[in-house]
């Protein structure tokens, strides 16, 4: 018995054999494509997990308006804490909210101390039984005088914020 390649001249049994061979080869191709799709989905899943872990391990703080940080060779990891910023134009910001002009705040620090006390009280409510760490990130523009920065730091230490981290740009 000889199989014809065309279905026109074949009897019923030959047609059945030809169709069966065609269906088998189609099934093999479909299985190969499904395996390739599965491995691609696995690869993208691992990529998403890697990216989420990478970006969640290092906290980042936003730079306040008008602040250009000084450069430093010894930069360290940023800790998550309230951000106090002194801009180039002399404004003082606490967590992106304007407190006032820095020179006036230094002479009359009651508004800043009240806002720092609110941060300290909300921390105490959320962390019952744990002592207050007193951490704050200080961002000062590189053109702000060091005298003004030290005066603001003195206000921070009087308000029980002794762990002051000066924000700098690390040079690579």
CA distance 170 to 73: 6
Shared domain for 103 and 129, answered yes or no, is yes
CB 139 within 8 A of CB 168: no
Better pLDDT: 132 or 45: 45
pLDDT tens string 48-80: 888 887 776 555 666 666 676 766 677 677 777
Domain that residue 42 falls in:
1-57
Residue 124 pLDDT grade (very low, low, confident, very high; cuts 50, 70, 90): confident
Shared domain for 143 and 86, answered yes or no, is yes
Q: Is 7's pLDDT higher than 50?
A: no
Residue 8 pLDDT grade (very low, low, confident, very high; cuts 50, 70, 90): low
Shared domain for 1 and 45, answered yes or no, is yes
Does residue 62 lie within any of the structural domains? no
Shared domain for 97 and 157, answered yes or no, is yes
Shared domain for 82 and 114, answered yes or no, is yes
Predicted TM-score (pTM) of the model is 0.60
User: Cα angle at 25 between 24 and 29, to 5 degrees?
Assistant: 120
CA distance 60 to 78: 7
Shared domain for 41 and 7, answered yes or no, is yes
Does residue 64 lie within any of the structural domains? no
């Amino acid at each position: 018995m000889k199989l014809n390649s065309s279905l026109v001249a074949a009897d019923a049994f030959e047609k059945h054999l030809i169709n069966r061979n065609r269906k088998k080869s189609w099934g093999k191709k479909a299985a190969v494509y499904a395996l390739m799709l599965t491995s691609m989905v696995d690869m993208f899943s691992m990529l998403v997990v890697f990216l989420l872990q990478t970006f969640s391990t290092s906290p980042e703080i936003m730079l306040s308006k008008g602040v250009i940080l000084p450069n430093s060779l010894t930069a360290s990891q940023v800790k998550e804490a309230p951000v106090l910023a002194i801009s180039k134009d002399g404004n003082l910001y606490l967590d992106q909210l304007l407190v006032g002009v820095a020179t006036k705040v230094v002479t009359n620090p009651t508004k800043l101390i009240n806002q720092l006390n609110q941060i300290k009280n909300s921390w105490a409510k959320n962390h019952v039984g744990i002592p207050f760490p007193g951490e704050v990130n200080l961002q000062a523009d590189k053109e702000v005088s060091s005298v003004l920065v030290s005066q603001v730091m003195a206000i921070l230490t009087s308000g029980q914020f002794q762990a002051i981290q000066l924000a700098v740009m690390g040079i690579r």
